[in-house]
């Protein structure tokens, strides 16, 4: 599924990478624990997290995920968004909670990683 | 004997959460520019990042040495931290001594050391309570695990 479809589905605001929303994702990794993301992401997944500090983008970069979705409407600081832009990682934010995000994406055929 | 192609030393600043991970990002750029295979690169930077975060979280300072040979990439991380009293317990997935501050950073859920081991072809952890901890990890360039 393309990021632009995910943006509409989850009613997201795009904070970084508006120009990169044509990227396709098929798998999702969701956690507030960065080591969990690092342990399970195989690369190119969509990362869903409630952690909005700089480490979330560092983890996204190291794990090689395609994009980050922040849940519960949490807004990161400006420096976090700048860092994501620098690393060319699209960042979206939705007011939905993680459970609902995962449920919606699962229903649409996206898979988890284990 | 493997031929050494690159050796870089980095100073890790303890307790500085804003800079935490910068060295691992730099390593990623260095190795990517050298054309290291993506799967291998991923394993190396995960090990480096988890190790770097551990130094930042637990120690006042540490060093990270990256060595590239024609066969493998090794990381040696030494810190002047509190040390680990029971290494076997520390290696257990889920075991953690992290503070609330560390957890707020998204770390300290008891997966760091096991992540590092899982992503290494050779992994060694030594520690002395009150002195510090050293980690050695080697990742083969041809490994795609």
pLDDT tens readout for residues B22-69 = 999 999 999 999 999 999 999 999 999 999 999 999 999 999 999 999
* Rounded average pLDDT over A42-56: 95
* Rounded average pLDDT over B80-97: 95
pLDDT of B93? 93
pLDDT of B2? 83
Taking contacts as CB-CB distances below 8 angstroms, the residues of chain A near B28 are 61-62
Structurally, chain A folds into a number of domains equal to: 1
Average of per-residue pLDDT values in chain B: 94
pLDDT of A62? 95
For the beta sheet containing B132-140, the strands, ordered from the edge strand earlier in sequence to the opposite edge, are B4-13, B61-69, B72-79, B132-140, B122-128
Residue B1 C-alpha, separation from nearest chain A C-alpha, in angstroms = 30
User: pTM of the prediction?
Assistant: 0.94
* Cβ A68 vs Cβ A56: under 8 Å: yes
CATH (domain of A63):
3.40.1390.20
In this prediction, residue A43 has a pLDDT band, given cuts at 50, 70 and 90, of: confident
pLDDT of B143? 63
Contact: A62, B112; criterion CB under 8 Å: no
pLDDT of A114? 81
Write the ipTM.
Answer: 0.90
Q: How many CB pairs under 8 A join A and B?
A: 63
Using one digit for the tens of pLDDT, what is the confidence trace for A84-97?
999 999 999 999 99
In angstroms, how far is the first alpha carbon of chain A from the final one? 20
Contact: A35, B50; criterion CB under 8 Å: yes
Q: Torsions phi, psi of A100, nearest 5? A: -65, -40
Taking contacts as CB-CB distances below 8 angstroms, the residues of chain B near A56 are 106
CA A94 vs CA A27, A78, B69, B84: distances in Å: 18, 17, 45, 40
Minimum Cα–Cα distance from B25: chain A residue: A62
pLDDT reading at B86 higher than 80? yes
3-state secondary structure of A14: strand
Using one digit for the tens of pLDDT, what is the confidence trace for A1-25?
999 999 999 999 999 999 999 999 9
Contact: B107, A55; criterion CB under 8 Å: yes
CATH of domain B4-140: 3.30.565.10
Which domain, by its residues, includes A69? 3-112
Partner-chain residue, chosen from A43, A53, A62, that has the shortest CB–CB distance to B24: A62
């Amino acid at each position: 599924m393309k990021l632009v479809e995910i943006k509409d589905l989850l009613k997201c605001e795009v904070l970084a990478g508006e120009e990169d929303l044509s990227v396709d994702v098929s798998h999702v990794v969701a956690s507030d624990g960065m080591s969990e993301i690092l342990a399970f992401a195989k690369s190119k997944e969509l990362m869903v997290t409630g952690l909005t500090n700089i480490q979330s983008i560092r983890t996204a970069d190291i794990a090689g995920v395609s994009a980050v979705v922040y849940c519960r409407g949490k807004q990161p600081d400006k420096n976090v968004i700048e860092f994501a832009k620098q690393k060319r990682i699209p960042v979206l934010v939705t007011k939905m909670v993680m459970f609902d995000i995962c449920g919606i994406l699962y229903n649409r055929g996206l898979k988890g990683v284990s | 004997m493997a031929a050494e192609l690159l050796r870089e030393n980095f100073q890790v600043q303890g307790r500085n959460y804003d800079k935490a991970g910068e060295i691992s990002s730099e390593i990623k750029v260095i190795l990517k520019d050298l054309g290291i295979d993506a799967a291998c690169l991923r394993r190396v930077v995960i090990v480096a990042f988890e190790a770097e975060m551990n130094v930042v979280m637990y120690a006042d300072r540490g060093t990270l040495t990256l060595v590239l040979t024609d066969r493998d990439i090794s990381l040696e991380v030494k810190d002047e931290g509190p040390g680990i009293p029971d290494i076997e317990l520390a290696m257990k997935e889920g075991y953690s001594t992290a503070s609330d501050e560390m957890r707020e950073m998204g770390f300290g859920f008891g997966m760091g050391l096991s992540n590092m081991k899982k992503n290494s072809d050779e992994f060694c952890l030594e520690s002395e309570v009150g002195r510090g901890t050293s980690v050695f990890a080697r990742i083969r360039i041809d490994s795609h695990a």
